[in-house]
Amino acid sequence: MLEEIETLLRDGVASADPLVTEAAQHLVVAGGKRFRPMLVAVGGQLTAGSGHDAAAQRELVLAAAVVELTHLATLYHDDVMDEAAVRRGAPSANQRWSNSIAILVGDYLFARAADLAADLGPEAVRIQSRTFARLVHGQIAETVGPRGDDPIAHYLQVVADKTASLIATSARFGGMFGGAEPAQVSALAEFGETIGVAFQLSDDLLDISSDSAASGKTPGTDLRKGVPTLPVLYAQAGTDADAASVRLREILASGPVEDEAQVVEALGLLRESAALKRARETVRWYAEQARATLAPLPDVSARRTLASLCDLIVDRTG
Residue 238 burial (10 A CB sphere; 0-12, 13-18, 19+): middle
Residue type, 241: A
Tell me the CA distances in angstroms from 61 to 93, 180, 186, 309, one per residue in order: 26, 16, 20, 21
Q: Output the pLDDT for position 213.
A: 47
Sign for the pseudo-dihedral over CA of 145, 150, 154, 156: positive
Residue type, 24: A
Which of 136, 121, 203, 196 has the alpha carbon at shortest distance from 166? 196
Q: Output the pLDDT for position 239.
A: 83
Yes or no: say if 165 and 28 are a contact pair by the CB < 8 Å rule. no
Angle between helices 99-118 and 54-82 (to 10 degrees): 160
Q: Output the pLDDT for position 130.
A: 96
Angle between helices 35-44 and 301-315 (to 10 degrees): 160
Yes or no: say if 43 and 173 are a contact pair by the CB < 8 Å rule. yes
Q: Output the pLDDT for position 217.
A: 59
End-to-end CA distance of the chain: 31
- Partner residues linked to 87 by β-bridges: 90
Tens of pLDDT along the chain (318 residues) come to 778 888 898 888 888 888 888 888 887 787 778 899 999 999 999 886 656 788 888 999 999 999 999 999 998 887 787 766 767 667 777 877 788 888 998 899 999 999 999 999 999 999 999 999 999 999 999 888 888 889 999 999 999 999 999 999 999 999 999 999 999 999 999 999 999 999 999 988 988 887 654 555 577 888 888 888 999 999 999 888 899 999 999 999 878 888 899 999 999 999 999 999 999 999 999 999 999 999 999 999 999 999 999 999 998 876
Measured distance CA(293)–CA(302) in Å, rounded: 14
- Exposed e or buried b per residue across 195-224, where buried means at least 16 C-beta atoms within 10 angstroms of its C-beta: bbbbbbbbbbbbbbbbeeeebbbbbbbbbb
Q: Output the pLDDT for position 148.
A: 84
